[in-house]
A and B are shown apart, each in its own frame.
Chain A
């Protein structure tokens, strides 16, 4: 899945990232490079810092030390315009969907392109329709979020993020809040995006999915990347006792 003709240039480049919440250090020096079209899954216990790392990448959390670049551009927290630029490159899907309840599904998807990219309403409407069809919800343009199931809401959230044509998508436990029977439809969409070459960084508990879809799996433990490798390496040949423990706990 990695294109060997692409120059060895990381789309997401994280060096020595440290982050604390008050007195507690949550990220203790993260080094991670994600290449274009790569699919990276981050796994680990709760409290290991996975979500915090993800939220640093699009600036929802600030960090104290280290550097973070997207497509060569370093992240500047204080520069509002730079952050807006970054967020057009980096999309995010949330565990609790966060759809805008007062807008229909289609309007949820249309909002950012019309406001941020200045796309005229008719074009945005058409594009939104296409995106909703892509995630399998073409007929639900005018439905309100409260009328949709959890799986449908999450798929609308994916379409909404895709509408900004980001180069990398961050997925923060996007199936954790779903009833088990709805998880599949969302993972199907993510798999489709991976096949189409989208760069994805996912924090997930869905190990089977991580095995199937990712190019690389990163295991985080207590604020550090403990082990990283191909899905085969991580799931079949765990090196450290912490990862072995984590995987065996999942099997029970």
Chain B
């Protein structure tokens, strides 16, 4: 009969809480910066010069066709050879931002491309500047259209951050690793942490679906 001992694992709740805190921080920072980067890249892909389009396109394809763990290892282990030594947390954020940025670029681009022509014509007729047209007329409805896809991608990046434990970032999955080796209760440790991730994913989805319509789609 298999005996489970969750109490030992749950006793380590301070470590779990610290790990959770870092995961949430990494996700929050990466979500904001990644979305901004993605939006900028989407604009570049639609309105930039040929060289810019090609560069952004290459960046997007490289990120989308290589595993996140390799991107992370490249940034943390590989870049120091070029003289760029980053702390663990900064490396994680950089990797997550570049990762989300590439996917967000494609998602936002799809949203921008489905802008009804009449909207642009009306805005031009009102003598708005290009930046005003983009930020006030085009972008908010575009984001509203692709919000579910963007939210899903943010959650994917949040779940993907579990890999950051492999470079010893003290986030949630690393907490599981440490608790597992401390208590020798591997299965219980990972179940508890998996459950926390699941609750995080559900909660984050709710939060973003509440946040988006309130603060992003309605232009001030």
Direct contact of A and B (CB under 8 A): no
